[in-house]
């Protein structure tokens, strides 16, 4: 779910658009066994609005500049890979508390 790269960390996300409220939820394991961070946003999945809302929510929650966050895979689906640029150890320390006991 959280993988270090040369640029920062990549997080696997399961996005739910048009939710009642925007929230970063608990990690879950999909049927294929992959761990993903569950995130819901109120924006619809049209015109990139849900993706923009996802980036804004992550930036606000983890106090990371929006410009440091980008979707690197799955931009048109619910299953996404999100890259957060920065020093991997510092990012892991900031993000890890939300991941609980679910790890890949």
Here the CATH number for the domain that contains residue 85 is: 3.30.1200.10
Q: What is the model's pTM? A: 0.88
Assigned domain for 70 exists: yes
Strands (E), 6-59: 8-16, 23-29, 35-40
Assigned domain for 104 exists: no
Assigned domain for 82 exists: yes
Which residue do the tokens 């048009």 mark? 18
Assigned domain for 13 exists: yes
As a whole-number percent, the residues of the chain with pLDDT over 90 amount to 65
pLDDT confidence bin for 102, thresholds 50/70/90: low
52: containing domain: 2-97
CA distance 11 to 47: 23
Helix (H, G, I), strand (E, B) or coil at 30: coil
pLDDT tens column, 80-100: 999 999 998 888 888 877 776
Assigned domain for 27 exists: yes
Assigned domain for 48 exists: yes
Q: By the 8 A CB rule, do 62 and 99 touch? A: no
pLDDT greater than 80 at residue 30: no
pLDDT confidence bin for 101, thresholds 50/70/90: low
Assigned domain for 63 exists: yes
- The pair phi, psi for residue 67, each rounded to 5°, is -65, -15
pLDDT tens column, 47-84: 999 999 999 999 999 899 999 999 999 999 999 999 99
Alpha helices in the chain (DSSP H): 49-62, 88-99
Number of domains in the chain: 1
């Amino acid at each position: 779910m959280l993988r270090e790269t040369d640029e920062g960390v990549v997080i696997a996300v399961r996005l739910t658009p048009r939710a009642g409220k925007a929230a970063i939820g608990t990690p879950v394991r999909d049927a294929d066994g992959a761990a993903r961070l569950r995130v819901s946003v109120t924006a619809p999945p049209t015109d990139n609005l849900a993706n923009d809302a996802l980036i804004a929510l992550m930036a606000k929650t983890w106090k990371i500049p929006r410009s440091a966050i980008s979707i690197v895979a799955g931009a048109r689906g619910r299953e996404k890979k999100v890259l957060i640029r920065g020093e991997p150890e510092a990012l892991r320390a900031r993000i890890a508390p939300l991941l609980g006991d679910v790890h890949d």
